[in-house]
Structure 1
């Protein structure tokens, strides 16, 4: 009879050990799952898009059109700057200047066939990201 009592005690220890290990594994899965879900909820797992440049531009009327000037701020890839006149694309800064150099403070571009009152815009585009860096009327103060 003493053999049966020892088996019951041994089985009880095994059951407690298996349940304990199972609870530790379950706890680890819950903690890891919560960390993954939390990171996506907080945006830590989201892909970061291109960052809009911080730059200012000016537009001045000329006898033949207008001059757009990079007045201050970040250097910008010239192929990412699009020039629009009254909502119609004239081309990228790179196309219009025939230069792939970055656009930096002091750089200018001449836009022809522009009259006083026309709207000129400079847009920055990078993939799906777009930002209007300036939109103004020619001759506006």
Structure 2
């Protein structure tokens, strides 16, 4: 694994969708870990660091909203980029998600995996501050 390889946590209770996302993001050069609900994600966040979270909104045990709330209340996780995915597009307010939990974007299901990969690439694109300096 490269020192520059970005780490992504996918929290998705649909195992097939989680595996499809992991496969495509790994092919794009990311280090990807999957949690099958928000509680499992919280446990992983206690022992590992991630640059970005892709989370489903509706999950058993700890849902996506509760997971986002946990992340934003934890100073060490406060800068993590969050992408929320949901089939409840008409019930969720994008602006409220940004205000409450600084969610970078809401992606409605069904979505194109290519769309997710493009969003992740845009959100984690190296900035001038993170580019290596050549002598």
Provide TM-score, normalisation by structure 1.
0.22
Q: Kindly name which structure, 1 or 2, has the bigger radius of gyration based on alpha carbons.
A: 1
More strand by share: 1
Looking at secondary structure, tell me which structure has more helix per residue.
2
